[in-house]
Amino acid sequence: MLYYYINFYIKFILMSLSIIVLAAGKGSRMLSKTPKVLHEVGNYPMLFHVLDTAYSIKKSKICLVISNPLLKFKEFLKKKYKNLNFCVQNQQKGTADAVKTAIIKNKNKSSVNTLVIYGDTPLIKKRTLNNALKKFRENNLDLCVISMMPNKKENSYGKLKFSKKKLVEIIEQSELKNNNSDLDMCNSGIMIFKNKYLNENIRLVKNKNNKKEFYLTDLVKIFNKKNLSIDHYTCCYEETLGVNSMIDLALVNDEFQKEKRNYFLNKGVCMLAPDTVYFSFDTKIGSNVTIEPNVFFGPSVEIKNDVYIKSFCYMDNVKVHDFVTIGPFARIRDGVQIEKESKLGNFVEIKKSKIGKNVKLSHLSYIGDSVINENSNIGAGAITCNYDGVKKNKTIIGQDCFIGSNTSLVAPLKIKKGSIIGAGTVVNQDIPIETVVYRKSELIKKHKKK
Ligand code: UD1
Ligand code: MG
């Protein structure tokens, strides 16, 4: 038994991994006030994409290297990511300096190997990291670089240099001389190290280069000189797209959308023009759903089964139940639930409301902070006046009500079940059940003066 436990413990230690996520860079090429790694891909910060993937790697301890501007998000990050270690790099002196800062703070102490991931490479997959780790372990490597081969000449990545098919060096783009212009295999930025050699050699990296930065990639040359065992694992280019500029961010978002569209098409979602449909990282769509062209899904949208979404709809934070039809031109937002078989037509805006089963809201309405119960019909141009200039107020419409066209429902307001509101009425008092309401005003008819 004791033997079993010792064996298990040794195996665990050997398998255990420190993951260092670098997110402290200045991101100056973004020309943005927002820290680079907080820019969003599919409405989710790049850093969260990377941390989610890091957390999916088993038996790992994660350390995030941040800069001072990111410190204000530390508490939020601590809540979202349990047991996340932090390390602050005060001056952005390069990727090797960032890793050294983490090592000095003992952030890879309890492990044998270290995986370094960059916070600006959000599309990297768990499967790729695990495959690279497998190669690293099975071949008893001291350093493994995740490489990629772009489909056209790239000038924004470090290039892998080989000698007799052996990886010997990574040359940064800014250091490339003309005689190296034939190098085409690129560095994704992701590397796996044996801690023993990483910790020994990180101090040997110098900043004698055009950018006066400490490049982590210089370790390849250093390891090679010491005859340590180095190799690379090639993954697909799209997965390792790095973001340094707004153009890169647009490219990565584009790639993310392609992936999402393929995912939903493979799940049987019918899209008439998939390239015009925009998904968020957490969009959920059920079966037998049709989406017409030009639809935007912001964060927290869940569409159940047999739903039909017509063109030009914009939704965020919405749950749509079975057999609902929406649009064209509907905007639904900020916490809306739409129950089965309801129909929302053109130019309808719904905010923070619950729409009951089989409700018809067919044309030109604004419904805010409201509950509309089942089988009610809301006429064209009916609106809830939910804001009194100071605060938002609720409107509750009972089941089987008929709200006439062009009515103004002045909240707070309760219209009880079965009531009928005449067209054009301004309703500013609660209405009891089964009541017919209209304002009497005379229709004047005169002959035109000649
Ligand atoms: C880096 C690689 C390059 C690779 C590319 C892949 C180096 C020297 N170069 O270049 O070979 O092809 O990524 O995308 O590593 N960071 C810090 N502290 C710093 C500097 C950077 O934490 O002092 C972080 C950044 O926030 C970023 C990551 O490290 O997440 C990479 O830095 P970045 O400046 O984007 O490096 P690249 O020029 O893209
Ligand atoms: Mg980068």
DSSP code per residue over 310-354: -SS-EESSEEE-TT-EE-SSEEEESSEEE-TT-EEEEEEEEES-E
> Do residue 152 and residue 130 come from a single domain?
yes
CB atoms within 10 A of CB 297: 26
Residue 256 counted as domain residue? yes
Ligand 1 within 6 A of 122 CB?
no
Q: Return d(Cα 30, Cα 302) in angstroms, integer.
A: 32
Ligand 1 within 6 A of 92 CB?
yes
Cα 119 to ligand 1 centre (Å): 9
CATH number of the structural domain spanning residue 301: 2.160.10.10
Q: What is the domain count for the chain? A: 2
User: Residue 287 corresponds to which amino acid?
Assistant: S
Strands 295-297 and 314-315: parallel
Catalytic residue among 39, 49, 321, 363: 363
Residue 201 counted as domain residue? yes
Residue 62 counted as domain residue? yes
- pLDDT at residue 177 in the model: 83
Residue 448 counted as domain residue? no
> Do residue 210 and residue 263 come from a single domain?
no
Ligand 1 within 6 A of 175 CB?
no
CB 373 within 8 A of CB 399: yes
Q: Look at ligand 1, atom 14, and give the residue with the nearest C-alpha.
A: 242
Q: Look at ligand 1, atom 31, and give the residue with the nearest C-alpha.
A: 118
> Do residue 30 and residue 131 come from a single domain?
yes
Ligand 1 within 6 A of 256 CB?
no
CB 73 within 8 A of CB 79: no
CB atoms within 10 A of CB 239: 18
Best mutation site among 22, 37, 245, 252 for ligand 1 pocket (most ligand atoms within 8 Å of CB): 22
Cα 40 to ligand 2 centre (Å): 15
Q: Which residues pair with 409 in a beta bridge?
A: 384, 427
> Do residue 273 and residue 406 come from a single domain?
yes
Ligand 1 within 6 A of 220 CB?
no
Q: Which of 240, 264, 281 is the last residue of a domain?
A: 240
Ligand 1 within 6 A of 35 CB?
no
CB 359 within 8 A of CB 336: no
CATH number of the structural domain spanning residue 172: 3.90.550.10
Residue 445 counted as domain residue? no
Q: Which of 211, 240, 269 is the last residue of a domain?
A: 240
Cα 210 to ligand 1 centre (Å): 15
- pLDDT at residue 13 in the model: 55
Cα 156 to ligand 1 centre (Å): 11
Ligand 1 within 6 A of 217 CB?
yes
> Do residue 259 and residue 355 come from a single domain?
yes
Q: Note the Cα 150 to chain centre separation in Å.
A: 24
Q: Return d(Cα 151, Cα 422) in angstroms, integer.
A: 65
Q: Return d(Cα 347, Cα 228) in angstroms, integer.
A: 66
Q: Which of 213, 240, 267 is the last residue of a domain?
A: 240
Nearest atom in ligand 1 to the alpha carbon of residue 67 is 22
Q: Catalytic annotation on 363?
A: yes
> Do residue 280 and residue 225 come from a single domain?
no
Ligand 1 within 6 A of 121 CB?
yes
3-state secondary structure 60-76: EEEEEEECHHHHHHHHH
- pLDDT at residue 449 in the model: 87
Say if residue 420 is exposed, middle or buried (CB neighbours under 10 Å; 0-12, 13-18, 19+).
middle
> Do residue 159 and residue 221 come from a single domain?
yes
> Do residue 208 and residue 312 come from a single domain?
no
Structure tokens at 26: 């200045």
Ligand 1 within 6 A of 74 CB?
no
Cα 320 to ligand 2 centre (Å): 39
Structure tokens at 253: 């978002």
pLDDT, one tens digit for every residue, the chain (450 residues): 666 666 655 555 555 899 999 999 999 999 999 999 999 999 999 999 999 999 999 999 999 999 999 999 999 999 999 999 999 999 999 999 999 999 999 878 889 999 999 999 999 999 999 999 999 999 999 999 999 999 888 888 999 999 999 999 999 999 998 767 788 999 999 999 999 999 999 999 999 999 999 999 999 999 999 999 999 999 999 999 999 999 999 999 999 999 999 999 999 999 999 999 999 999 999 999 999 999 999 999 999 999 999 999 999 999 999 999 999 999 999 999 999 999 999 999 999 999 999 999 999 999 999 999 999 999 999 999 999 999 999 999 999 999 999 999 999 999 999 999 999 999 999 999 999 999 988 999 999 988
Q: Look at ligand 1, atom 7, and give the residue with the nearest C-alpha.
A: 215
Residue 246 counted as domain residue? no
> Do residue 351 and residue 210 come from a single domain?
no
- pLDDT at residue 181 in the model: 73
Ligand 1 within 6 A of 189 CB?
yes
Domain extent at residue 49: 2-240
Residue 65 counted as domain residue? yes
Say if residue 103 is exposed, middle or buried (CB neighbours under 10 Å; 0-12, 13-18, 19+).
buried
Cα 33 to ligand 2 centre (Å): 17
> Do residue 206 and residue 300 come from a single domain?
no
Cα 72 to ligand 2 centre (Å): 22
- Least Cα distance to 215 among 137, 131, 116, 68 occurs for 116
Best mutation site among 115, 120, 193 for ligand 1 pocket (most ligand atoms within 8 Å of CB): 120
Residue 368 counted as domain residue? yes
> Do residue 180 and residue 300 come from a single domain?
no
CB 77 within 8 A of CB 84: yes
Say if residue 94 is exposed, middle or buried (CB neighbours under 10 Å; 0-12, 13-18, 19+).
buried
> Do residue 216 and residue 336 come from a single domain?
no
Q: Return d(Cα 121, Cα 95) in angstroms, integer.
A: 14
- pLDDT at residue 1 in the model: 64
Best mutation site among 26, 28, 50, 118 for ligand 1 pocket (most ligand atoms within 8 Å of CB): 118
Strands 402-403 and 420-421: parallel
